[in-house]
Amino acid sequence: MGERTLAIIKPDAVKKRVIGDIIQRYEAAGLNPVAARMVHMSKAVAEEFYAVHRDRPFFGSLIAHMCSGPTVILVLEGNDAVKVNRELMGATDPLKAEPGTIRALHGASIEANAVHGSDCHETATVEIAYFFPDMV
């Protein structure tokens, strides 16, 4: 069992054909996928998901990027899943991410940074409910 977190493989990573590589890294780190959907987000869906960032200067381009192609959305389960996933992803800016992390390996910019992961347990619960309403 363990904790659950939400991960999104972003449109830039799907276009780079690294879905399999990223999922393999989740599994190798002990994060077991327990739900998955491929979603090409509408503007309304992306805006609601990222509502906490609504007033940030990068909001418009963040939404445009997230709607630019299909994403893969997963619920990952394991011990300390939120923290383990954040370590596996690396810093938001791929240039600042630790070598070997998903964003360092596959991210191109702070926006095209390959993956999203919930930032804490409470956020994970809300984010999972948003894309997987049947799981709560």
The answer to whether the CB of 65 falls within 8 A of the CB of 17 is no
Residues tagged active-site: 116
The answer to whether the CB of 85 falls within 8 A of the CB of 5 is yes
10 Å Cβ neighbour count for 35? Answer: 16
Among 4, 25, 106, 116, binds ligand CMP (CB under 6 A): 116
Provide the minimum distance between the beta carbon of 62 and ligand CMP in the complex, in angstroms, as a whole number: 4
Token pair 């394991």 is at which residue?
78
One character per residue 24-63, x = contact with ligand CMP (rule: CB under 6 A): -----------------------------x----x---x-
Q: Does 110 bind ligand CMP (CB under 6 A)?
A: yes
Q: CB under 6 A: which stretch of 15-23, 37-45, 73-81, 106-114 binds ligand CMP?
A: 106-114
Provide the minimum distance between the beta carbon of 1 and ligand CMP in the complex, in angstroms, as a whole number: 25
Q: Does 101 bind ligand CMP (CB under 6 A)?
A: no
Q: Which tokens sit at 65?
A: 């990027």
Closer to ligand CMP by Cβ: residue 106 or 116:
116
Alpha carbon distance 76, 1 (integer Å): 10
Least Cα distance to 72 among 126, 35, 100, 44 occurs for 35
Token pair 């070598």 is at which residue?
99
Site of interaction with ligand CMP (CB under 6 A): 53, 58, 62, 92, 110-111, 113, 116
